[in-house]
Amino acid sequence: MHFLVTGGAGFIGSHVVDRLLADQAGRVTVLDEFNDYYDPAIKRGNVAQFRGPVTVVEGDLRDRELIHQLFDDGKFDVVIHLAGRAGVRPSILEPELYLDVNIKGTFHLLEAARRTGVGQFLFASSSSVYGVNPKVPFAEDDALLATISPYAATKLAGEQLCSNYAHLYGLRTVCLRFFTVYGPRQRPDLAISKFCRAILEGRPIDKYGDGTTCRDYTYVDDIVQGIMGAVAYQGPVFDIFNLGGSQTVSLNELIAACEAACGQPALINSMPMQPGDVPRTSADVTKARRLLGFAPRTQVEEGVRQFVKWWQTA
């Protein structure tokens, strides 16, 4: 088997590559832009620790010629598409960039996959597609009536493109809606990483709103387990799954977990709610449990402790 992991140098992607190599699942090719959304040295450090048959290609999803040449050379069996511009708040500042990378880049990959006969195409979607959903927990068949950020819109558009290619060309596609992934190697712009580093360094943390917003936090090892289930999935030619931790935690509770893991209190800088932020995410993972064997195990208190342990020894 030959796997292409886009974004394979990043947080989730590097864990997926590690798992594929540890399982001796086959050859792995990583495509990553190594852009400056955060320090590219972090991604290069992730890549440096890969052990096994892996090839790293530096390139941009928007480069059509590069993508098609990569697929011609690689003859990939499975594509795990994790790359793209991330983050709700930055997407509001640079919407055109997000539309270009996340939608057009996904189109280039799907077209190359169709043309070269890829067997399985996995697309990393997001819980943000649910918008301000009054129904909790969120289920895959909920009506998606309004996204509230350009980032969310690009993820929903990516799902629709996958659906098109499954219906028109029989390309087997699986969309995975990730719910707030965290753990070792987490991007430095994400809450748990920012909070724990600030607490340990004696700096204040920015707390947006009154602390009652809630997120379903999902430990990265659990996400990887769900991705591996999706790699093996042979159900309908197009399908969608929630991958969440099944533990909705308020911002106040998260800060308390970070304080406990760090062994000291946080200095709080109170901030107003930010545009594009949803008040709550909550994953119904019944479908993923049944069809992917998905079984999230790590509670947020333990997961935050594992992050802090990694941070202090990295």
User: Left (φ > 0), alpha (ψ -120 to 50) or beta: where does 209 sit?
Assistant: left
Model confidence, pTM: 0.96
Angle ∠(9,105,277) on CA atoms, nearest 5: 75
Taking CA atoms, 168 is separated from 13, 110, 159, 160, 161, in Å, by: 29, 12, 14, 12, 10
* Cβ atoms within 10 Å, residue 276: 18
Bridge partners, 204 (sequence order) = 267
Active site residue 98: no
Comparing CA positions, the residue from 189, 182, 175, 260 lying closest to residue 38 is: 189
Which pLDDT does position 257 carry in this prediction?
Answer: 97
Triad 103, 273, 178: Cα angle to 5°? 40
CA 288 – CA 286 distance, rounded (Å): 6
Q: How many other C-beta atoms can be found within 10 angstroms of the C-beta atom of residue 129?
A: 23
Q: Going residue by residue through the chain (314 aa), what tens digit of pLDDT does each one get?
A: 999 999 999 999 999 999 999 999 999 999 999 998 889 999 999 999 999 899 999 999 999 999 999 999 999 999 999 999 998 989 999 999 999 999 999 999 999 999 999 999 999 999 999 999 889 999 999 999 889 999 999 999 999 999 999 999 999 999 999 999 999 999 998 999 999 999 999 999 999 989 999 999 999 999 999 999 999 999 999 999 999 998 899 999 999 999 999 999 999 999 998 887 788 999 999 999 999 999 999 999 999 999 999 999 87
What pLDDT was estimated at residue 275?
81
Beta-bridge partners for 126: 178
Q: With beta carbons less than 8 A apart as the criterion, state whether 180 and 222 touch.
A: no
Report the amino acid identity of residue 219: Y
Number of helices and strands (H, E) in the chain? 12, 13
Gyration radius from the chain CA atoms: 19
As a whole number of angstroms, the distance between CA 160 and CA 141 comes to: 14
What domains sit in the chain, N to C, each tagged with a CATH number? 2-181+219-245+284-296 (3.40.50.720)
Measured from the Cβ of residue 233, the count of other Cβ atoms closer than 10 Å reads 18
Which residue type is seen at 176? L
Say what the pLDDT of residue 300 is: 96
pLDDT at residue 246, rounded to an integer: 82
What kind and span of H or E run contains 165? helix 150-169
Question: Residue 216: its pLDDT value, please?
Answer: 96
Residue 278 confidence (pLDDT): 82
Q: Which of 37, 38, 130, 151 is catalytic?
A: 151
Judge if the upstream peptide bond of residue 204 is cis by omega within 30 degrees of 0: no
